[in-house]
Structure 1
């Protein structure tokens, strides 16, 4: 598979502040790639460097082999969808979609035909003659997508385009965005702070923090095999337990759990001593065959799941999730319970 975007040692400084610290990553052609992280992590800055809205301090940005770091935004074969859709209020939907083609000098018949095809793709053909104010937020978002796709960019940049939508609409649009990417074959680079968005849509994810890429991988790799405490804690829900590492061999370690029980688990660390163990709540179950013992603090009803919040004998907090079913016997606050750890359910982290 060919490379669409190749970023090498990208640094961005604003005066004394460094927003990106030597970021390097490669994005494949026809890939849905997500930059994920909390506010201020550098993900939008990186997107703006690719778009040309910010000037790189040092490093390289290549698009299909071409160095684009010094090109003006309009010279780059990319288009951007922003958080605010910025539709022209006085133009009809189809004229909004055709606007980029008009700026490129495409003849009226061709641009209207292509704009019509884009509206079909986003299921808005029947709204072609309406004004943006006559559309819902979700429909306006689709128009913005159609407008960005109409000039047939080689890479589409999306800066948190779903953040203004309500939950149900965001969930529906996730499916539509992934389908659009597959239908068009365009490389999508998507910026979000929402882990669920990243996990459900992405071919690969780059988790960012403090201007650095912490880990790159598929949704499954990021969730199941986090490399450090930040990734484990940011992606989904996890229990971070301080444990003693007795032995490390290649990518596995023998650790002593709170309470003295020993287990061998996958490891991202290469040293012994005190480290943190990541255990996902769904990998624990209440059992007499216990790896850990805890005291229940409360049980939270979440509909499909039941969340049990407890603390271990040494005081460390721990949470487990049980599937909501009639046969599940709920523990009571103050009750002592044994917790069995599913095989492969723990991972030693590189702090």
Structure 2
């Protein structure tokens, strides 16, 4: 598989502030790749550098093997969909979609045909003659997508395009975006701070923090095998427990939990001493006479799930997620319970 975007030791400085610290990423052709991280982590800066809206201080970015240094944004084979859709309010939907094609010199019949194809792809053919103000937020977002896809870019950059939509529409658009990427075969690079968006749509994810890439992998890699505390804590919910590490060999650690229970787990570090263990709440269950003893502190009803918070010996707390439908009895606060941690669920983290 060919590499669509090859980012090599990219650095971005603004005066004395360094926004990106030597970022290197290889993004495959026809991949849905997500840059995920909190505000200020550098993900949008990196996207803008690929687009040509920001210069690169040091390092190199290649598109399909060709350096893009010095290329103006309109000469790069990429297009961008922004958080604010920036549709032309005085133009019809069809004219908005065809605008970039006119700039490329296509004839009027060619523009109409291509715009019609794009509107059909995003299920808006019936709205071709409407103005953007006559559309819903989700429809405007699809027009922006159709406009960006019309010139057939090799790479589509998406800067938090779903953030202005309500929850149900965001969830529906995730499915549509992924389907659109698969149908067109275009490389999508998607920027978001929303972990659920990243997990549900991406072929691979780069988790970023403070201008550095913390981990790159599939959604399952990132969720099940985080490399450090930041990734484990940022992606979904997790329990971060301080444990004593007795030994590490061939990626397997022997640790002691609060209360003295010994446990074998996968390890992202070979350091001994006191470190953090990550255990996802849904991988802990209540078992009478379980190896780990705890006292229930809170029970929260979440519809399909129940969330329990239990305190271990020594004071550390554990969150537990239980399917609500199968439960006939719920322990009350103050109850003593036994906990079972699923085999392979715990992971020793690098700090």
TM exceeding 0.5:
yes
Alignment match, 1:333: 333
* Aligned counterparts of 2:297 and 2:46: Cα–Cα separation in 1: 43
Structure 2, gaps ≥5 residues long: none
TM-fit CA distance, 1:69: 2.7
Instruction: Provide the C-alpha distance between the structure 2 equivalents of 1:249 and 1:297, rounded to a whole number of angstroms.
Output: 36
Deviation readout 1:161-216 (Å, 9 max, x if unpaired): 00000000000000000000000000000000000000000000000000000000
Q: Which residue of 2 aligns with 1:127?
A: 127
Q: Distance in 2 between matches of 1:327 and 1:274?
A: 36
The superposition leaves residues 226-266 of structure 1 with CA deviations (integer Å, 9 ceiling, x where unpaired) of: 00000000000000000000000021100001110111110
Task: Determine if the alignment matches structure 1 residue 287 to structure 2 residue 287.
Answer: yes
Distance 1:197 1:116, change over 3 A: same
- Change in Cα spacing, 1:226 to 1:328, as seen in structure 2 (3 Å) is farther
Q: Secondary structure at the match of 2:105?
A: coil
- Once the two structures are superposed, the pairs formed by residues 270-349 of structure 1 within 5 Å of their partners are 270-349=270-349
Please give the secondary structure, in 2, of the residue aligned with 1:208.
Answer: strand
The match for 2:235 is 235
Conserved 8 A contact 1:240-1:279: yes
Q: Secondary structure at the match of 1:61?
A: strand
Give the conservation status (yes or no) of the 8 Å contact 1:239–1:281.
yes
2:35 is paired with a residue whose SS is strand
Q: Who is 2:62 aligned against?
A: 62
Once the two structures are superposed, residues 252-298 of structure 1 have per-residue CA deviations (whole angstroms, 9 ceiling, x without a partner) of 10000111011111000111100100000000001124232111111
Distance 2:259 2:339 in 1: 12
Q: How do 1:15-164 residues align onto structure 2 when only pairs under 5 Å count? A: 15-164=15-164
Query: How much does 1:105 deviate?
Result: 0.6
Once residues 207 and 178 of structure 2 are traced to their aligned partners in structure 1, the CA distance between those partners, rounded to angstroms, is 19
Q: Is the 8 A contact 1:289 1:340 kept in 2?
A: no
Query: What's the CA shift for 1:326?
Result: 4.7
Q: Secondary structure at the match of 2:50?
A: helix
Mapped to 2, the partners of 1:80 and 1:119 lie a distance apart of: 18
Alignment: residue pair count: 351
TM-score normalised to structure 1 length: 0.99
For structure 1, which runs of at least 5 residues remain unmatched after alignment? none
Question: Does the aligned pair in 2 maintain the 1:293–1:313 contact within 8 Å?
Answer: yes
| Offset of residue 328 of structure 1 | 3.7
Partner of 1:259: 259
Runs (4+) of structure 1 exceeding 6 A deviation are: none
Deviations, residues 311-342 of structure 1 (Å, cap 9, x unaligned): 11211111000001253421101111111001
Equivalent-residue separation in structure 1 for 2:6 and 2:289 (angstroms): 50
How big is the alpha-carbon RMSD for the aligned residues of Structure 1 and Structure 2? 0.7
Report the Cα distance in structure 1 between the residues aligned to 2:100 and 2:229, rounded to whole angstroms: 44
* CA shift for structure 1 position 133: 0.1
Q: What does the per-residue CA deviation read over 1:32-75, in whole Å, with 9 as the maximum and x for residues that have no partner?
A: 00000000000000000000000000000000000003211011
SS at match of 2:162: coil
Residue 309 (structure 1) shift: 1.2
What secondary structure, in the 3-state scheme, does the structure 2 residue paired with 1:254 have? strand
Q: Which residue of 1 aligns with 2:8?
A: 8
Looking at structure 1, the residues matched to 318 and 3 of structure 2 have their Cα atoms a distance apart, in angstroms, of 43
Residue 196 of structure 1 aligns with which residue? 196
Secondary structure of the residue that 2:196 maps to in structure 1? helix
